[in-house]
Amino acid sequence: MGKKPWVVDDELWVRIEPLLPERSPGPRPVDDRLCLQGIPFVSYTGIAWHQLPPEWGFGSGQTCRRRLGRRQEAGVFEALHRLLLAELNAAGLIGWTRARVDASHVHAEKRGEATGPSPVDRRKTGSKHHVISDGGGIPFHVIVTAANVNDVTRTLDLVDGVPPVAGRVGRPRKCPAALLGGKGYDSNPNRRELHKRRILPVISHRDEPDIIDIGKLCYVVAQTFAQLHQFKRLAIRWERRLDLHNAFVSLTCALICWRRLNKPTP
C-alpha cells in the first residue's frame, strides 16, 4: 500500500526544515513537524480546523492555521515547490518541449478575496484555479481568481509565473518550447507576446476546427487538476482569506512534485 498523499515523511521533512523561518522567542509547545503535518491532513481530508484529532499531536486547529499563514508569508511553500521542481529537473523528469494551460472552477462556501459568481450557477460563489503544467502534468504555477474571470486573461501571468527551475548545468530554465491551450485561450495579442518570449503558441482558434490531437495533448493538465482536487480543501474552497487558500495550493503542488519524484520506475 502506497504512502498517503498528505504524509510528510522523513526525507521530505529534511527538505522543509531548512526553509522554515527562525523561531520567535518564547515557548513553542507544538513541534514544528507535527504542526506542519496537520496542515496537509486538513487539506486532504477537508475537515474543519477544530476537528483535527488531538491524540495525533498536531496541535489545535488554530495553531496549525496560524502557522499556515506565517509559513505562507515567509514563502516556505513556494520555496519547497521550487526546490522539488529543481530535483525533478535534475532527474530529467520535467518535459520542457511543451507546457499546458487550463482552468477549473471550484465552489467557494464562503465569500472572500478572489471569489465571484459561478459561470455554471450565478447564484453561487466560486473561484477558479488557473494552472500551467509541464508535458507530463507536473504543476509549474497556479493562479487563483474569481470564478467569472476569463481564462485567456491569465495566460501570460501563468507563463511569467513559472519559476526559474535549476537542477541542470547552466542557467535555470523558465520557458517551455511551446504552450498548448484550447479555444478559451485564443488571443492574437497573447500569441505575439508568447513569440517574444520564444514560446510557440499551439492554441486553437475559436472560428476554426481544433488543432489535430490538441484534446489528447491537453488531457494531461486534467490529470493535474485531479491530483490538486484530490485534496478536498482545494476541490471546495472554505477559506475567506486568499493567502490561506494559496498556501494550500502551493503546498499541494509541492506534494505532487514529491510524489512524482518518488514514483517507482516501471
Q: What are the domain boundaries of the chain? A: 95-237
Q: What pLDDT is attached to residue 1?
A: 39
DSSP helix/strand/coil, 183: helix
Q: Among residues of the chain, what percentage have pLDDT more than 70?
A: 91
What type of residue is 41?
F
CATH code reported for the domain at 95-237: 3.30.420
How far, in Å, CA of 227 to CA of 6, rounded? 12
pLDDT tens digit string along 110-149? Answer: 889 999 998 777 788 999 999 999 988 999 999 999 999 9
All residues at 6 or more sequence positions from 133 whose CB lies less than 8 Å from its CB, including other chains = 99, 100, 139, 140, 220, 221, 224
pLDDT digits (tens, 9 = 90+) for 199-212: 999 988 887 666 55
pLDDT band at 197 (very low <50, low <70, confident <90, very high): very high
Residue 257 half-sphere exposure toward CB, CA atoms < 13 A:
30
177 vs 29, which has greater pLDDT? 177
Position 24 scores a pLDDT of: 62
CA dihedral 124, 62, 13, 29 (to 10 degrees): 180
Q: Which of 11-15, 35-39, 208-212 has the lowest mean pLDDT?
A: 208-212
Neighbours of 18 (CB within 10 A): 8
pLDDT tens digits for range 57-83: 787 888 899 999 999 999 999 999 999
C-alpha cell at 153: 486573461
Mean pLDDT (the chain, rounded):
89
Strand partners, 200: 178
- How far is residue 80 CA from its own chain's centroid? 12
Query: pTM, whole model, 2 decimals?
Result: 0.92
Which residues, 6 or more positions from 229, have their beta carbon under 8 angstroms from its beta carbon? 104, 106, 235
Beta strand pairing call for 99-108 and 178-181: parallel
